[in-house]
């Protein structure tokens, strides 16, 4: 069976050790984590964990059930297959020699991102978007020279009915 | 009311109805032991912390109540890990209380410090590090609630020394209500109707019952279902006792060492009602070919058990007792037809499998281990609580003793923990002081927790240990015989203690039988004694457990001799 990408949005008790339970479940049972984001929600007692995983149909069913079985998990939403918005942020440090500086700024402009740090030989660019946008941006910047990159991983929410 | 953490802990334990704690004191829990001595809770001092968990586990399996153990920090805590993993795999409700260094020292590599909450996260149902005394009462309440509700399991509570010694204003906690934990007990009615329809249509159905039937205390409902619908019943190792094995509808155990008829019936049936099982690999063999002609109705409280290994036609998530009660009621309202006629062919077929390939062994002038168990069954009139170690002894105990009641067969099913039987027998004997409790052991596995003989003798527990002494790690030797051309690498127990003298040195009674005609006399004397007894049966060295399905093979393809 083919493995597809699944985005899971998990509400958990905001307590020490809870993230470790989730991550331990994935490693202990041989599931994979492509990306992971955690932060407090509006309710300080609750955190939201967004996990992107790859699994086949029966695999994702087990992952869902196993997550629900953890005592500190309040709710598991599988977003894949529903209407949802997703965003990822990246900070990209590109080499910025004088002959490329204008080109880089054009790309920044086209992708509607921001330069958040400038040096004599580099720009650090903040880019937000879905995975496709980040990939497209990176593929344009790579030939120019990407020094370092930090990505957040995906966060996502349901789209409410219009 | 101002109370110390230790006082709050004991108050909560008493409130939960705890009458016995299995444990081992140490520096980090000294304050708890100081308070414990002032209560009427009985403390059983084991000789190794692993045995404390197994004993609490055996107590829980036999009595259906939550077992409790108490150990110190560091090595005391790490020694419990095997016991905890064992209880987790078999869904046994145990609360493990571990000492911990004072909170301000946590993370400093203090003396006898270990991150036991981190270590046991994957093998507990849940665990807690109590960070302040104010939360203690509530955590203890939650721990017991989680351990016994839903699919039961072990819960560990780590207690830093300062949390235990601090004095705070005690407020009795309210009843437990957890936002994130709310097990579903009631089955979906639509699914029940689908199940009824499949039962009406089936011509070759079987029931496959597991440990969940025993845990949810629904052996009666299961028996009612089987008799009402005339469905033959097989059980998993964990399910032995869930259905009376002396009933004509019983097919005995399924799986790697299951009976011929039980395994053959799964290959030929058109419906399986699986109750409280998880289709473990030792049951299914090769999953692709398992029950290939059958539709499966799977009843279990744990959704993760359903469709984990085997596709299922009708999944029913719910408590087995509630589900079977409702299912029986629905079946009363529909027509099942003339079951005598309808089932005749199927039941005849099963009987034929039984007659052509019954459980059997050849008698010789050397004691056969199966013979010892058969005699034990006969002399104990089938009424003993049997615990086992792991390996051949366990399988023969499963095959040749016949269990009519739940809570009668206590064995390490999931984890397969050698050394489980003796401490589990201690727990069972504490729960039922007047019942006959027998640990069926091998000469290798008994040595894994042999130190608990001292515990048994100290508390005057008349446990009977039956050692099937073949001088080998018998089950591994059997695999080597079959799959490694008899290269018995490292499985000969070339040196063992004299178990009779060993028993005597512990203050127990030691007996030995070396010839078949001595077996009955030794069993009679041992079972009749009021002491703790070791009976050492010198058995055929290279006897194998049969039938056997090689790991990963289809379950209907058994080696028969």
Distance CA B513, CA B500 (A): 10
CB contact under 8 A, B180 and A61: no
- Which residues on B lie below 8 Å from A60 (Cβ)? none
Look at residue B420 in the predicted model and tell me its pLDDT. Answer: 98
- pLDDT tier at B338, thresholds 50, 70, 90: confident
Owner of token pair 């309202």: B333
Best of A10, A27, A58, A65 to mutate (most B CBs within 10 Å, chain B): A65
**What does the pLDDT average to over A88-102?**
94
Q: Dump pLDDT digits (tens) for B418-437.
A: 999 999 999 999 999 999 99
- For residue A1, pLDDT over 70 is answered with no
- For residue B29, pLDDT over 70 is answered with yes
- For chain A, the residue count is 162
Q: Where in chain B are the domains?
A: 2-169, 189-356, 369-538
- For residue B110, pLDDT over 70 is answered with yes
- Which residues on B lie below 8 Å from A21 (Cβ)? 121
- Which residues on B lie below 8 Å from A72 (Cβ)? 180
- Which residues on A lie below 8 Å from B308 (Cβ)? 62
Distance CA A129, CA B468 (A): 68
Distance (Å) of CA B223 to CA B217, B239, B257: 12, 13, 24
Helix (H) or strand (E) holding B118: helix B116-120
What is the least distance, in Å, from the CA of B109 to any CA of chain A?
Answer: 19
- For residue B530, pLDDT over 90 is answered with yes
What is the least distance, in Å, from the CA of B180 to any CA of chain A?
Answer: 4
Catalytic annotation, pick one of B1, B14, B111, B186 = B111
Adjacent-strand bridge partners of B127? B156
A86-154 placed in CATH 3.50.50.60: no
Fold of B369-538: Rossmann fold (3.40.50)
Q: What angle do CA B433, B394, B93 make, to 5 degrees?
A: 55
What is the least distance, in Å, from the CA of A10 to any CA of chain B?
Answer: 12
Distance CA B95, CA B154 (A): 6
The token pair at A133 is 């946008």
CB contact under 8 A, A72 and B303: no
**What does the pLDDT average to over B317-339?**
95
Shortest CA distance from A45: residue in chain B: B179
- Note if B111 is an active site residue: yes
Partner-chain residue, chosen from B121, B178, B179, that has the shortest CB–CB distance to A20: B121
Decide if A4-78 and A86-154 have a common fold: yes
Best of A12, A71, A74 to mutate (most B CBs within 10 Å, chain B): A71
- The chain A residues in contact with chain B (CB within 8 A) are 12-13, 16-17, 20-21, 24-25, 28, 58, 61-62, 65-66, 68-69, 71-74
Q: Dump pLDDT digits (tens) for B138-196.
A: 999 999 999 999 999 999 999 999 999 999 999 998 888 888 898 999 999 999 999 99
- Which residues on B lie below 8 Å from A23 (Cβ)? none
* Contact yes or no for B97/B71 (Cβ under 8 A): yes
* Contact yes or no for B369/B539 (Cβ under 8 A): yes
- Note if B49 is an active site residue: yes
CB contact under 8 A, B181 and A71: yes
Distance (Å) of CA B280 to CA B211, B238, B276, B517, B525: 12, 11, 12, 39, 39
Partner-chain residue, chosen from A13, A71, A74, that has the shortest CB–CB distance to B146: A71
CA-closest candidate to residue B531, choices B461, B446, B482, B441 = B461
- For residue B561, pLDDT over 80 is answered with no
Decide if B2-169 and B189-356 have a common fold: yes
Q: Dump pLDDT digits (tens) for B203-233.
A: 999 999 999 999 999 999 999 999 999 999 9
Distance CA B446, CA B466 (A): 10
Look at residue B340 in the predicted model and tell me its pLDDT. Answer: 84
- Note if B483 is an active site residue: no
Q: Dump pLDDT digits (tens) for B270-290.
A: 999 999 999 999 999 999 999
CA-closest candidate to residue B238, choices B264, B208, B272, B265 = B208
Q: Dump pLDDT digits (tens) for B474-501.
A: 999 999 999 999 999 999 998 999 999 9
- pLDDT tier at B337, thresholds 50, 70, 90: confident
How many cross-chain Cβ pairs, A to B, lie less than 8 Å apart?
36
CB contact under 8 A, B180 and A21: no
Shortest CA distance from B179: residue in chain A: A74
Which ipTM was obtained for this model? 0.91
Catalytic annotation, pick one of B253, B395, B475, B548 = B475
Q: Where in chain A are the domains?
A: 4-78, 86-154
pTM summary value: 0.96
Q: Contacts from B492-500 at CB under 8 Å and sequence distance 24+?
A: B493/B443, B493/B444, B496/B443, B496/B447, B496/B469, B496/B471, B497/B447, B499/B443, B499/B446, B499/B467, B499/B469, B499/B534, B499/B536, B500/B534, B500/B536
CB contact under 8 A, A71 and B302: no
- Note if B374 is an active site residue: no
- Which residues on B lie below 8 Å from A62 (Cβ)? 304, 308
Look at residue A161 in the predicted model and tell me its pLDDT. Answer: 86
The token pair at B366 is 């050397």
Distance CA B462, CA B441 (A): 16
CB contact under 8 A, B303 and A17: no
Q: CATH number of the domain at B189-356, please?
A: 3.40.50.1220
Q: Give the pairing type, strands B20-24 and B67-71.
A: parallel
Q: CATH number of the domain at B2-169, please?
A: 3.40.50.970
Best of B182, B304, B305 to mutate (most A CBs within 10 Å, chain A): B304
Helix (H) or strand (E) holding B538: strand B533-538
- Note if B171 is an active site residue: no
Catalytic annotation, pick one of B12, B16, B35, B49 = B49
**What does the pLDDT average to over A79-96?**
94
- Which residues on B lie below 8 Å from A24 (Cβ)? 121-122
CA-closest candidate to residue B123, choices B501, B527, B458, B417 = B417
The torsion of the CA quartet B327, B328, B332, B336, rounded to 10 degrees, works out to 80
What DSSP designation does A45 have?
Answer: T
Q: Dump pLDDT digits (tens) for B296-326.
A: 999 999 999 999 999 999 999 999 999 999 9
Fold of A4-78: Alpha-Beta Plaits (3.30.70)
What is the least distance, in Å, from the CA of A152 to any CA of chain B?
Answer: 26
Q: Could you give phi then psi for residue B161, rounded to 5 degrees?
A: -60, -40
The token pair at B52 is 């404390």
């Amino acid at each position: 069976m083919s493995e597809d990408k699944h985005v899971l949005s998990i509400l958990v008790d905001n307590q020490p050790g809870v993230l470790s339970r989730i991550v331990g479940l994935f490693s202990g049972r041989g599931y994979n984590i492509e990306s992971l984001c955690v932060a407090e929600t509006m309710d300080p007692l609750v955190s939201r964990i967004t996990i992107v995983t790859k699994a086949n149909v029966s695999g994702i069913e087990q992952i869902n059930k196993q997550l629900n079985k953890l005592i500190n998990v309040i709710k598991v939403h599988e977003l894949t297959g529903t209407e949802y918005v997703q965003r990822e942020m990246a900070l990209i440090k590109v080499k910025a020699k004088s002959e490329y500086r204008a080109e880089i700024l054009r790309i920044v402009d086209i992708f509607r991102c921001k330069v958040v740090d400038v040096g004599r030989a580099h720009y650090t660019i903040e880019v937000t978007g879905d995975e496709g946008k980040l990939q497209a941006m990176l593929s344009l910047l790579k030939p120019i020279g990407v020094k370092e990159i930090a990505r957040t991983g995906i966060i996502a929410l349901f789209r409410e009915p219009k | 009311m101002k109370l110390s953490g230790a006082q709050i802990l004991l108050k909560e334990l008493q409130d939960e109805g705890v009458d016995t704690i299995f444990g081992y004191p140490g520096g980090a829990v000294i304050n708890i032991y100081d308070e414990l001595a002032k209560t009427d809770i009985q403390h059983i001092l084991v000789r190794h912390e692993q045995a404390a968990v197994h004993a609490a586990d055996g107590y829980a399996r036999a009595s259906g109540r939550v077992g409790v153990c108490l150990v110190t920090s560091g090595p005391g805590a790490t020694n419990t890990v095997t016991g905890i993993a064992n209880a987790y795999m078999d869904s046994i409700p145990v609360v493990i209380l571990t000492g911990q260094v004072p909170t301000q020292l946590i993370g400093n590599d203090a003396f006898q410090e270990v991150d036991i909450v981190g270590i046991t996260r994957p093998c507990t149902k849940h665990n807690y590090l109590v960070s302040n005394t104010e939360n203690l009462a509530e955590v203890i309440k939650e721990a017991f609630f989680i351990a016994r509700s839903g699919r039961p399991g072990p819960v560990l509570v780590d207690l830093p020394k300062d949390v235990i010694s601090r004095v705070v204003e005690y407020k009795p906690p309210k009843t437990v209500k957890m936002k994130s934990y709310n097990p579903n007990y009631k089955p979906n009615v639509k699914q029940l109707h689908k199940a009824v329809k499949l039962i009406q249509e089936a011509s070759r159905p079987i029931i496959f019952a597991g440990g969940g039937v025993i845990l949810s205390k629904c052996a009666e409902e299961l028996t009612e279902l089987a008799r009402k619908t005339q469905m033959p019943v097989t059980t998993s190792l964990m399910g032995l006792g869930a259905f009376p094995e002396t009933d004509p509808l019983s097919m005995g155990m399924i799986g790697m060492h299951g009976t011929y008829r039980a395994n053959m019936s799964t290959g030929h049936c058109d419906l399986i009602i699986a109750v409280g099982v998880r289709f473990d690999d030792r049951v299914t063999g090769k999953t692709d070919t398992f029950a290939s002609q059958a539709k499966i109705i799977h009843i279990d409280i744990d959704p993760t058990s359903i469709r984990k290994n085997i596709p299922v036609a009708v999944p029913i998530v719910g408590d087995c007792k509630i589900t079977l009660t409702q299912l029986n009621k629905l079946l009363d309202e529909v027509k099942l037809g003339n079951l005598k006629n309808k089932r005749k062919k199927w039941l005849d077929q099963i009987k034929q499998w039984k007659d052509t390939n019954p459980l059997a062994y050849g008698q010789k002038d050397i004691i056969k281990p199966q013979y010892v168990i058969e005699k034990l069954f006969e002399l104990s009139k089938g009424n003993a609580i049997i615990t086992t170690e792991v390996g051949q002894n366990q399988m023969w105990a499963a095959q040749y003793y016949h269990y009519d009641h739940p809570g009668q067969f206590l064995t390490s099913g999931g984890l397969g923990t050698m050394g489980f039987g003796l401490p589990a027998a201690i727990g069972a004997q504490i729960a039922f002081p007047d019942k006959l409790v027998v640990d069926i052991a091998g000469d290798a596995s008994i040595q894994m927790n042999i130190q608990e003989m001292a515990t048994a003798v100290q508390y005057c527990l008349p446990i009977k240990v039956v050692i099937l002494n073949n001088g080998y790690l018998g089950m591994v030797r059997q695999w080597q015989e079959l799959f490694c051309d008899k290269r018995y690498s490292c499985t000969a127990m070339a040196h063992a203690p004299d178990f009779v003298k060993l028993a005597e040195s512990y203050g127990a009674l030691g007996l030995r039988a070396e010839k078949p005609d001595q077996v009955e006399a030794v069993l009679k004397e041992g079972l009749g004694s009021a002491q703790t007894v070791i009976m050492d049966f010198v058995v055929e060295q290279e006897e194998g457990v049969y039938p056997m399905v090689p790991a990963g093979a289809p379950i209907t393809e058994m080696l028969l001799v």
